[in-house]
Structure 1
Amino acid sequence: MRATLGLVVWLVTISQGAGKLCDGRREGAQCYGPLDGKIVLRLMDTAPFRYNWLKKAIILLRGRENTLLTKLPERFSFTPNSGTLKIENLKRNDSGNYTLQIFNKQGIGIENRTLQLFIQAPVTSVHLASKCQSQGVQPVSCSSKGGDSLQYRWSLNKKPLQDSDLLSGDVQANNITLKPYISGQLICFVRNDVSESQNEVTLSCVFINCTSNGTVISQWLPEMKKNLCDKPTPGDESPHSTNYLPLMGGILSALFILLMIGLAVVYKLKKKQSSVEDEEELTYADVRIVNQPRRSIKMREEVEVEYGQVKLSQQPRGTVAAKNDASIYAHVRKHR
């Protein structure tokens, strides 16, 4: 009956938000309490016949069954039926080792249990900052204004961040550098043993190349900064295309040079071939038009002269023939 009553009181205490509960009924238990907050320690199931609870050599609580034999400090309250001790307005010096001593009716100690209590400052707020650097690399820092023994955890697009997403750092560090072109919702979780908080940022780095109020902007910036441009230049929002432009320009230049060289070679070959054809035509004309006709005319003249001499030598009259002979011969000679 007493145990049942103690359990009910304990459950009611927890349901009313008495503070963070820590089970100290086992040897070597470790409990954590928030600075300036409160904590509930479960020291026993029910109050034994006689017990002491002390820090180092100082007895903080002494009782016999349901009766307290000492006055507790102002911030402490003990419920014998549930064996719970509540501490409010926790201080740094509340941290330390505590010992519970249990005695039987003969006053003989039958059990000693130790408990370690740690007081930590809770996480108050989380500040998350990201930058856009060359080639779309994004360093991100996560910090908290308060908190002891902080631990960090990251998620990207509602999934745990992987080491493969990082250029440097690790997924449990507060400063990381993301690889290029990673975008989406990045959340930083900051926690310790008494509290947890988080903050998020939307990642989206683009290369902006434009003018803003007469000033040229040519760098990697968050996508929201595109509004700074007076007149966006086509292609500014595509870092992949921008990266390929120098390569494409080089390829086109090389093709143009090769094309010009090819045209020059073809032109020279055609010019040389045309020169050879002109020389062949000129030689052929000399043979047909100049040399051959002269040879034909000479042969024809010689044939006619010989024929005339033979004809004239057959005249019947000697006197006339002699005269004619001389004139003809003279004429022929003169003609030749």
Structure 2
Amino acid sequence: MKPTAGLVLLLFTVSQGVRGPCDARREGALCYGQLGQEIILRLMDKTPARFILQKKTHHVFKWLGDPSTIPKRFSFISKDATLKITNLAKNDSGHYTLLIYNKAGFELENRKLQLFVEAPVSSIHVVLRCQPQGQQLVTCSSTGGDNLQYSWWLNKNPLQQNDIFSGHVEKYNISLKQDISGRLRCSIRNNVSEMSEEVCLPCVFINCTSNGTVISQWLPEINQTLCDNPILREKSHQSKNYLLAMAGVLSGMVILLITGLAVFFMQKKKKRDTKDEEELVYADVKIVTQQRRSIKAREEMEVEYDQVKFSERARPPVVMNYDASFYAQVRRDR
């Protein structure tokens, strides 16, 4: 299946002819009329006694003060000196001469004017085609209209030449850079009408399957709905900017996390060192306490020993009966 480009938003503006009369009171005036429509020409400030409007040497309209002499397709309003021509045809275009006379027939003024009859813009069609490298080729066309003029607008602002990869803003087709996104509007106009149409940018790279068919190419963003099981949808500039922004945010969060962990572990280490110092002091006190207890124990033991000694001293003395003869005997033996 071959995917086709689709339009997201259509906007048509049609101008039917030029509103109001064309001011032909000055020399060399240019007046524009729409094919098949009517045009009103303001020829003079006030109606003279006589005047003739001729094309080349042919008298197109002659005013002699009698409305009955007015030809078909023409009507003259003497109050404001305006001439209306209906059902304009291509051969109505050309150079005209206005000759103004007084009652005596003397020529008072000889003035030139030009009339252009143009076919209006009959249709407009904008097509977005995505190029292999991501460039966006946009074509704006019409099936009718004379002297067509093209203009491009991006997000309601005039498209700039530096946004274009190739082409020109006054041409019917342009190639936009890959990073251009938003609503692109093409306007086709001439002197009697105007039409415009919008298309949504950008092109995106779609890599997916659609009804069992693999799609792997640059397509307008709207064609993402073709995918059954998207594999990869890589947007151009907008997606890249989003990813860069997200990467920056994540990097900042990682830095903050690392900093927080470092502060946490430093505080934890500081608390552990303080605790170790407190335990060392407690150990010293404990040793001193044990020494005191040992001294006290020894004192208690000595007291008990003294009591034992005292109890031995308290025994009645053993009286030995010495035999004086025995002692004398021993002395002799020595």
Q: TM-score, normalised by structure 2?
A: 0.63
2:48 is the counterpart of 1:56: no
Deviation at 1:201, TM superposition (A): 0.6
Gaps of at least 5 residues in structure 2 are 1-16, 241-334
The 3-state SS of whatever aligns with 2:230 is: coil
- Give 2:234's aligned residue: 237
Q: 1:48 to 1:83 in 2, by over 3 A?
A: same
- Give 2:79's aligned residue: 81
Q: 1:62 to 1:226 in 2, by over 3 A?
A: closer
Percentage of pairs with the same residue: 56
Q: Is the 8 A contact 2:120 2:146 kept in 1?
A: yes
The whole-number CA distance in structure 2 between the counterparts of 1:187 and 1:238 is: 21
Q: Is the 8 A contact 2:202 2:236 kept in 1?
A: no
Q: 1:186 aligns with which of 160, 184, 187?
A: 184
- Give 1:36's aligned residue: 36
The whole-number CA distance in structure 2 between the counterparts of 1:22 and 1:226 is: 51
RMSD: 2.1
The 3-state SS of whatever aligns with 2:130 is: coil
Deviation at 1:209, TM superposition (A): 1.3
- Give 1:164's aligned residue: 162
The whole-number CA distance in structure 2 between the counterparts of 1:132 and 1:120 is: 35
Deviation at 1:239, TM superposition (A): 4.7
The 3-state SS of whatever aligns with 2:233 is: coil
Q: Is the 8 A contact 1:208 1:218 kept in 2?
A: yes
The whole-number CA distance in structure 2 between the counterparts of 1:58 and 1:121 is: 25
The 3-state SS of whatever aligns with 1:135 is: coil
- Give 2:207's aligned residue: 209
Q: 1:69 to 1:227 in 2, by over 3 A?
A: closer
Q: Provide, for residues 206-257 of structure 1, a one-character-per-residue CA deviation record: whole Å limited to 9, x for no partner.
A: 1111222332221111122222222112x42345789xxxxxxxxxxxxxxx
Deviation at 1:83, TM superposition (A): 0.7
The 3-state SS of whatever aligns with 1:45 is: coil
- Give 1:26's aligned residue: 26
- Give 2:147's aligned residue: 149
Q: 1:133 to 1:18 in 2, by over 3 A?
A: closer
Q: Is the 8 A contact 2:32 2:118 kept in 1?
A: yes
Higher share of residues assigned helix: 1
Counterpart residue type for residue 132 of structure 1: C
1:1-336 pair list within 5 angstroms: 20-64=20-64, 67-68=65-66, 71-233=69-231, 235-239=232-236
Q: Is the 8 A contact 2:63 2:69 kept in 1?
A: no
Q: Provide, for residues 135-188 of structure 1, a one-character-per-residue CA deviation record: whole Å limited to 9, x for no partner.
A: 210100101121100001110011100000101111111110001121110001
Q: TM-score, normalised by structure 1?
A: 0.62
Report how many residues are paired.
Answer: 223
Higher relative contact order (CA 8 A, sep 6+): 2
Counterpart residue type for residue 88 of structure 2: L
Q: Is the 8 A contact 2:124 2:195 kept in 1?
A: yes
Counterpart residue type for residue 153 of structure 1: S
The whole-number CA distance in structure 1 between the counterparts of 2:19 and 2:155 is: 34
